[in-house]
Structure 1
Amino acid sequence: MGRAFEYRKARKMKRWAGMAKAFTKVGREINIAIKEGGPDPDYNPRLRLAIANAKAVNMPKANVDAAIKRATDKDSANYDEVTFEGYGPHGIAILVQATTDNNNRTVANIRHVFSKYGGSMGVNGSVDYMFERKGQFRVKREKFQHDLEEIELELIDAGLDSLVSDEEEITFYTAFEDFGSFQHELEERGIPVDSAELVYLPTHTKELSDSEAEAVIKLIDMLEEDDDVANVFHTMDESEE
């Protein structure tokens, strides 16, 4: 599956390549965080994470400050987090996370993309049972100053489910309900989180041929093009082998 793997790698690189798209996503994260917990990051862990995510995509401080100011304006738009479920080509389950100030617009757009690119949008509960919701914390290797084996054992008591490590970064996963406490634990230990979010991990995946995979990837690409879409999760096997 070499060709499909290279195509997938290109898609992953593209995901954050659009700076305007990345800034829009972070701006909405800041808006939701402030509406929920106020504008002071010292007392709002979700806002701290949103600011950390802004740094991860190189969002200038002036832009972050402007986003915070806009979110505190009582006349600013209110964004809601919504999830859409459906199937892509070849039976691949797809979960779409979006943040929107106009749900009717977002529903229409997502439904159109599913239909146009060989998929179908389902009802709530149609595919979410195929995923587990996890907290995901990414730390750059160059910023990690601890013994990984030792810290892994210590973090298990704080809710660590698993971790994935490579030459560039370490990714920690925790149960959904432990997200906040695990974030606090990393802060207490001085582990600098590069980005953090709640993700949906598939409980099983399906391997496709190159041509089948490209059809699914096209649908995912077009969903990610929508300004309201924050994340797209799926059950397609993306392993190298």
Structure 2
Amino acid sequence: MKTTVIDWNLIPYSEAWQRQTEWFDALISAKQNGEPYENRIILCEHPHVYTLGRSGKNQHMLLNDEQLKAIGATLYHIDRGGDITYHGPGQLVCYPIINLEEFNLGLKEYVHLLEEAVIRVCASYGIAAERMEKATGVWLDVHTPRARKICAMGVRCSHYVTMHGLAFNVNTDLRYFSYIHPCGFIDKGVTSLQQELGEETPLAEVKERLQQAILSLLQG
């Protein structure tokens, strides 16, 4: 089946979640009924929003409703794995809705593949990124006190069909992370391409590099 890349640009989180869910359910249904389907890789940005996964703890959100409103953000409890994370303008979000069986991937290998794609994109900008043991996502300076996360991961999988995905800090306003304990890590920092390079990086360019890296890895 073919794999299509779709760019939603800036889209409210609730709308993206609804559209993702519809496509996710439709792919599962098509797969179960032996009907044709399309794998989709969605790229987008969101207005300021915090999402709390199934294993998330409410106390990792440090603001109340009034304070959230004051910084122009909203909070959603959602059905992916992982704890709390932030999405906002300047952050590249990628939601692959794909049938893993078609690519001979298990869930662990799939998360590994997404991490590898981001590691490759970082390398293309001269940044040495890596995985951290017992923590999903992509990190810098893992074995030092300066360990910091540049990309968060949170995936839902049912019948080997995926939704949700990754959030890659490109030109993200990192102050918004100070209002949460990101993914439950209290002693670890966050960073962005902009922070590491000392200048803004064209988001369109990063989108192009990320989709090429994911497609290349899926094709093996």
* TM-score scaled by length of structure 2: 0.28
* TM-score scaled by length of structure 1: 0.26
Larger Rg: 1
Where is the helix percentage greater, Structure 1 or Structure 2?
Answer: 1
